[in-house]
Amino acid sequence: MRRLVALTATGVLAAALLTGCGSDAPSGESVTVFAAASLKQSFTQLGNQFEGDHPGTTVEFSFAGSSDLVTQLTQGASADVFASADATNMQKAADAGLLDGSPVNFASNVLTIAVAPGNPKAVTSFRDLTRPGLTVVTCAPQVPCGSATQKVERSTGVTLAPVSEESSVTDVLNKVSSGQADAGVVYVTDVAGAGGSSTAVDFPESAGAVNTYPIATLQDAANAERARDFVDFVTGPAGQQVLRQAGFGAP
């Protein structure tokens, strides 16, 4: 009988050890990326590729206007990586002590005018956006695409009167695509990735308002190592290829 009890006790101990080992097994890693709205399509693709290269890792995104993302971060939102559509909002994050090291520029983008497919209102220039009866939407001034639009206004002497100023460039494009506006100032990459729901009208003055995109790991990253890996991936050959295919320029 004593031998049976001993064997039973041994079995219980072995089961407990196995259960303990199972609870310590890794449950996977997660990287949270705050990224400018104009990066949604490209970064979603990059996230899928990164997950494939790092089995067990999940990339979670929050896409919004860069200014909104900085506000969220300064108010305590948790993230591992921040990718901004301009240097100004990245500098705000740096001034708030949120960055882990220096940001790296990884892409650039220029403005275009989004109109309905086929350009039924015959918009051909930036100045055309001031035509009476034409409903125009832009990004708000604190948003990178809005700041770039204002820069074009100053250089051309053309002052727009938008019916609304949106908090992200994707909101501007949606207004045009849904027919709520005749035209909107967005990035070339937004129209390129819109699947034909809008047409781009390029204007030469946009060359004077190029936005450069920086990316950085954050000081309080829960997964600092994977965060750095993701930044390296975006700035490396594979990431750059995806961004160029989407229409982004070199940084």
Binding residue ranges for molybdate: 38, 66, 169, 187
Q: Which amino acid is at 118?
A: G
Instruction: Pick out the residues of the known binding site.
Output: 38, 66, 169, 187
Measured between alpha carbons, how far is residue 55 from residues 1, 29, 107, 217, 240 in Å? 50, 9, 27, 21, 22
CB-side neighbour CA atoms (13 Å) of 171: 16
Q: How far apart are CA 93 and CA 165, in angstroms?
A: 23
Burial environment of residue 139 by CB neighbours within 10 A (0 to 12, 13 to 18, 19 or more): buried
Compute the distance between CA of residue 152 and CA of residue 150 in angstroms, rounded to an integer: 5
